[in-house]
Amino acid sequence: MTNLLAIDSSITGASSVSRTLVDHFVSEYAQHNPDAAIVRRDVGAEPIPHLLPETMAGVRATAESDLEKTTRDLSDELIGELRQADTIVLGVPMYNFSVPTGLRTWYDHIARPGETFSYSEAGPKGLLEGKRVIVIESRGGLYSEGPAQPMDHQEPYLRTLFGFIGLTDVTFIHAEKIGFGPEARDAAISSAKMQLSALVRDGSVAAAEPELLDS
């Protein structure tokens, strides 16, 4: 059985392009992997709390207070979802040239020393490996090329964050120019859906091979 973790981060509800595309991917994935376990996490509708002075130790040190232990429990839950997943798909709209704060706080809780990364004399090492990550980026303008490309602090940032914890097999799907009118929006959604469907159909995110049990 294969495991899919689907994360939404938009705060615009049903009108969200990234949410529409995550739903499309999950539907396609489920059709091609009927035995898959699918976990959904919505950090837009149900935001992860910002780390505060009274909760920081729950992620970065020894949890002692009740608040710190609650933070540690949430971090454990989020990291557990990542560890169990073979494929991770994220819907990430561009907000002010970067990512929604709900996704940032999610990352703040899953970037934990000794759990998802480690340090040594050789430098940092990501501890989550062997997973496929698909990031769906919805954008009002055109940022993957052209004069606005230097303002894209979304994709390079996400690539760095995922790479830091060992997730280096990352595919970015763009739904751009959705602010250019209804036709441009529809075209962007249609193109992104075709790319996402192809990712499932071509075997890039196919079901895992069955495990052989020891006799």
pLDDT score of 211: 33
Residue 214 lies in a domain: no
- Parallel, antiparallel, or unpaired: how do β-strands 37-42 and 3-8 relate? parallel
3-state secondary structure of 123: strand
Residue 60 lies in a domain: yes
Distances (CA, A) of 209 to 11, 33, 82, 191, 206: 36, 11, 19, 30, 9
pLDDT score of 213: 31
pLDDT at 106 exceeding the cut of 70? yes
Residue 85 lies in a domain: yes
pLDDT score of 202: 82
pLDDT at 77 exceeding the cut of 50? yes
Residue 207 lies in a domain: no
Residue 212 lies in a domain: no
- Residue count of the chain, please give it: 215
Give per-residue pLDDT as tens, 191-211: 999 999 999 988 655 433 333
pLDDT at 3 exceeding the cut of 70? yes
Residue 206 lies in a domain: no
Give per-residue pLDDT as tens, 115-135: 999 998 888 999 999 999 999
Residue 106 lies in a domain: yes
Task: Compute the distance between CA of residue 111 and CA of residue 71 in angstroms, rounded to an integer.
Answer: 13
Contact 136, 173 (CB under 8 A): yes
Range from 54-58, 90-94, 185-189, 211-215 carrying the lowest mean pLDDT: 211-215
Number of domains in the chain: 1
pLDDT at 111 exceeding the cut of 60? yes
CATH number at residue 71: 3.40.50.360
* The model's pTM: 0.91
Residue 209 lies in a domain: no
For residue 144, name the pLDDT band (cuts at 50, 70, 90).
Answer: very high
**Which domain covers residue 51, as residue numbers?**
3-201
Beta bridge partners of 127: none
> b/e for 136-150, b at 16 or more Cβ within 10 A?
bbbbbebbeeeeeee
Question: H-helix or E-strand containing 23?
Answer: helix 17-32
